[in-house]
């Protein structure tokens, strides 16, 4: 009987130790997703359309980021993106991180579903001595998949303008690359 009592006390003691709040393990927090992330590059000089995955769910929403790579002395930009709005609806355009404060910049954006394009213009205000050099997202488009199938999203090269503070094209503008994007709505 003494042995059974001792076993019962040991089991009871172990179960109480296991139930203590000190032994509880908190689950790891979910990973944070950087909604402005893009692949790094020290060599490319481009305007690139980027999305983390190549698919968009039918009736689902997602972001397409417009990334400037390795630009110098940027004071203002005008970018036009062709989006087949019958397949992929642009619901919103959001300012990116190139010029982070809206108080220092003038911004115009337009979603033109009739002509299947998104136009975005941003410039720093007169008297501002800061320019942007480097790589970052200039804006992103929130999109919704409407019709299943492949969708080609394109930068309109002829409407692209990247200017310095003197209103001239940035250094090497004539050689800037354009990276378009093909998505699949499914």
CATH of domain 58-171: 2.60.40.680
Residue extents of the structural domains in the chain: 58-171
pLDDT value for 129: 84
Q: Look at residues 141, 164, 157 and name the one whose alpha carbon lies nearest to residue 77.
A: 164
Q: Whole-angstrom Cα distance, residue 98 to residue 123?
A: 11
Look up residue 89 and give its two tokens: 């609806």
**pLDDT tops 50 at residue 38:** yes
Look up residue 88 and give its two tokens: 């992929």
pLDDT per residue as tens digits for the range 56-82? 999 999 999 999 999 999 999 999 999
Q: Whole-angstrom Cα distance, residue 1 to residue 30?
A: 51
Q: Are 70 and 134 in contact (CB under 8 A)?
A: yes
């Amino acid at each position: 009987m003494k042995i059974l009592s001792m076993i019962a006390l040991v089991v009871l003691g172990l179960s109480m130790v296991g139930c203590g709040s000190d032994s509880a393990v908190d689950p790891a927090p979910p990973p944070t997703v950087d909604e402005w992330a893009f692949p790094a590059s020290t060599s490319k000089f481009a305007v690139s359309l980027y999305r983390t995955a190549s698919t968009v769910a039918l009736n689902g929403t997602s972001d397409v980021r417009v990334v400037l790579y390795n630009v110098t002395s940027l004071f203002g930009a005008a970018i036009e993106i062709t989006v087949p709005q019958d397949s992929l609806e642009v619901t919103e355009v959001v300012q990116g991180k190139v010029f982070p404060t809206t108080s220092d910049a003038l911004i115009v954006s337009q979603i033109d579903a009739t002509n299947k394009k998104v136009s975005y213009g941003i410039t720093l205000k007169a008297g501002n001595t800061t320019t942007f050099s480097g790589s970052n997202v200039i804006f992103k488009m929130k999109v919704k998949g409407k019709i299943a199938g492949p969708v080609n999203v394109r930068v309109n090269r002829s409407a692209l303008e990247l200017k310095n503070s003197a209103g001239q094209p940035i250094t090497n503008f004539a050689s800037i690359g354009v990276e378009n994007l093909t998505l699949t709505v499914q």
